[in-house]
Amino acid sequence: MSICEPVGHRSSPATLIASAWSLGVRWIAVTCTGVRRMAVTRQEPMRESQVSNRGRGWGFVAPRLRGEGTAARRAWRGAYVRRLVIVDAAVAAFAALVGYLVRFGPVDATPSNVPFAIALAIPVVWVLAMTVARAYEQRFLWESPEEFRRVTAAAVLMLATVGTVSWAFQLDVARGFVVLALPLATALTVMARYVQRQVLHRTRRRGGNMQTTILVGHRGGVAALDEQLDREAFHGYRVIGCCLPAGQHGLGKDAFNGLPVLGDLTQVADVVKAYEVDTVAVLPCPELDGPTLRRLGWELEDTDAELLLAPAVTEIAGPRVRIRPVSGLPLLHVERPELRGIRRLTKEAFDRTSAVLGLIFLAPLLLGVALAIALTSRGSVFFRQERVGRDGRTFSMLKFRSMVVGADRMVDGLASDSDGNGVLFKKKVDPRVTRVGRVLRRYSIDELPQLINVVRGDMSLVGPRPPLQREVEQYGYDMRRRFLVKPGLTGLWQVSGRSDLSWDDSVRIDVRYVENWSLAFDFMILWKTAGAVLRGSGAY
């Protein structure tokens, strides 16, 4: 509403909602600018001297973010939550505007009607619903899909509340407006939160908004977790050192795996206080039994450090793990993986229906690729190869031919110069690949004919990578778990680095998928596949 507008003039409801939306956008812009300035001021990356000092053993001075302690390093969290509240309110106002305009049109109307009042109240009620669903609690933000589940739960709660209140008080609520505005607000909120999470992850990869971390346990577990946290820096843990059992210090007096040894298992709390550590990650260790861990938790209560415990069964998580009291003790129950029944039938139906629709939608692209292969190199358009599927059964897998004819018979001559991980044969610069094939492999277009395998029932849209028989012969016991499910056109392996992964990482990722399979997990992998294909990392 303009300042010069006559007092007696009445704006339309759409104008008032649009004005509120405009003010919300300006508020977001100012807030985000302030948050960025604060992050630059308070959260500087480590100095080069600090990085080079990593690995000097007992004389090492643990690196800290410059001049700041735990409270300052976590200051960005409050700003992040405030930004979530503002953006949630803004997208709810936008959804209300769209719903109102679609249902009632941009006409002058009395701003006292019930739909208009509901439209104005939606941003406030939306934020309240998020608060009730605990969608602003920091423990559910940044990493876990629990944040998005809580947003969806808040939307369902709000829709049920609106329906119940309108029925109880016989309010004249336009169903078309509510049915459009609330789902739109839910979709926009999820998208906005996903974008903000990706911005945070990018900041962490550059060294900002990190939490200093020490690892506690035996050498093997500490080394593995250190490598994983370093590889996935977007989780926000910067490892500054470790605490090992007293008998293991002599094995690496100066450093261990590039990590300074800051103390033994009895000195964890002292190390946390001395270096103002933000997070303590404890790995399974016989020296750290129940009573010892309980005392460590008590000692850390006097600090700001968070305590993380890595369970012995590290690849099992989510709905399969529940803590239940048994005989007065909180025991961790691990349910069986749900690989059969209605969930499996649902996955089969979704796979085949999506594959058929994908073949129809991608038909022009598939025909164009087939023509390009036929015109640029000698041989068949398709390449067929025997792969091992569910329950160890073999099937003929289809791909667009990206190599010269007879490329599979040339493997033995190139095996000594493999860029793979010891089991998988890969070459970053493979002389067998054709010109068109380089483009196809770079963007995984050569894999699209496997949609036919999905329709046939040999493969799934999401699953472990389909292996060759010679690879299966080298499998250990753990890797055979992958045969409980169908191999996939895409999977956790493809979105986690593909050919750049070590063999141990490949085993861990495949086992994690089988142990924790769910439809939501599949949808998450499908969503990430697009980004992995565009980046092309590990595709060779």
Residue 53 has pLDDT above 80, yes or no: no
Q: What value, to the nearest 5°, has the Cα angle with vertex 484 and ends 483 and 485?
A: 90
Characterize 104-140 residue by residue with b for buried, 16 or more Cβ atoms within 10 angstroms of its Cβ, and e for exposed: beeeebebeeebbebbbebbeebbebbeebebbeeeb
Residue type, 450: Q
Neighbours of 86 (CB within 10 A): 18
Tokens for 506, please give them: 């490949």
> What pLDDT does 96 receive?
85
Instruction: Give the single-character DSSP code of 259.
Output: B
User: Could you give the domains of the chain?
Assistant: 13-55+63-205 (no CATH), 211-310 (3.40.50.20), 342-535 (no CATH)
pLDDT band, residue 257 (cuts 50/70/90): low
Q: Are 347 and 460 in contact (CB under 8 A)?
A: yes
Q: Is 379 left (phi over 0), alpha (psi -120 to 50) or beta?
A: left
* Residue in 409, 350, 400, 397 with CA at minimum distance from that of residue 377: 400
Alpha-carbon gap, residue 348 to 353, rounded angstroms: 8
Residue 528 has pLDDT above 90, yes or no: no
Alpha-carbon gap, residue 379 to 360, rounded angstroms: 25
The DSSP string of 34-87 is: HHHHHHHHH-PPPPHHHHHTTT-GGG-----STT--HHHHTHHHHHHHHHHHHH
Instruction: Count CA within 13 A, CB hemisphere, residue 27.
Output: 16
Q: Are 435 and 376 in contact (CB under 8 A)?
A: yes
> What pLDDT does 63 receive?
45
13-31 pLDDT per residue, tens: 445 444 544 544 454 444 4
> 3-11 contacts: CB < 8 A, separation 24 or more?
10/108, 10/110, 10/111, 11/111
Alpha-carbon gap, residue 483 to 331, rounded angstroms: 30
Residue 529 has pLDDT above 60, yes or no: yes
Question: How high is the mean pLDDT of the chain?
Answer: 77
63-114 pLDDT per residue, tens: 444 346 788 888 899 899 999 999 999 999 998 888 878 777 665 444 445 5
151-163 pLDDT per residue, tens: 998 988 888 887 7
Q: Are 468 and 447 in contact (CB under 8 A)?
A: no
Residue 252 has pLDDT above 50, yes or no: no
> What pLDDT does 428 receive?
65
> What pLDDT does 88 receive?
93
> What pLDDT does 424 receive?
64
> 491-495 contacts: CB < 8 A, separation 24 or more?
491/462, 491/463, 491/464, 491/465, 491/525, 492/464, 492/525, 493/464, 493/465, 494/444, 494/465, 494/529, 494/532, 495/525, 495/528, 495/529, 495/531, 495/532
Pairing assessment for the beta strands 394-400 and 382-388 based on DSSP bridges: antiparallel
129-147 pLDDT per residue, tens: 999 989 999 888 887 778 8
Residue 244 has pLDDT above 70, yes or no: yes
Pairing assessment for the beta strands 261-264 and 460-462 based on DSSP bridges: unpaired
* Residue in 126, 120, 116, 127 with CA at minimum distance from that of residue 23: 120
Tokens for 49, please give them: 């001297």
Instruction: Assign 3-class secondary structure to 230-251.
Output: HHCHHHCEEEEEEEECHHHHHH
Give the dihedral sign, CA 500/502/506/508.
negative
Characterize 278-312 residue by residue with b for buried, 16 or more Cβ atoms within 10 angstroms of its Cβ, and e for exposed: bbbbbbebeebeeeeeeebeebbeebebbbeebee
Q: Which of 409 and 402 is assigned the larger pLDDT?
A: 402
Alpha-carbon gap, residue 488 to 482, rounded angstroms: 11
Q: Which of 324 and 185 is assigned the larger pLDDT?
A: 185
Question: 85 exposed, middle or buried (CB, 10 Å; 0-12, 13-18, 19+)?
Answer: middle
Neighbours of 416 (CB within 10 A): 6
Phi, psi for 259 (deg, rounded to 5): -105, 135
Which residues, including other chains, have CB under 8 Å from residue 287's CB and lie 6 or more apart? 245, 265
Alpha-carbon gap, residue 219 to 492, rounded angstroms: 28
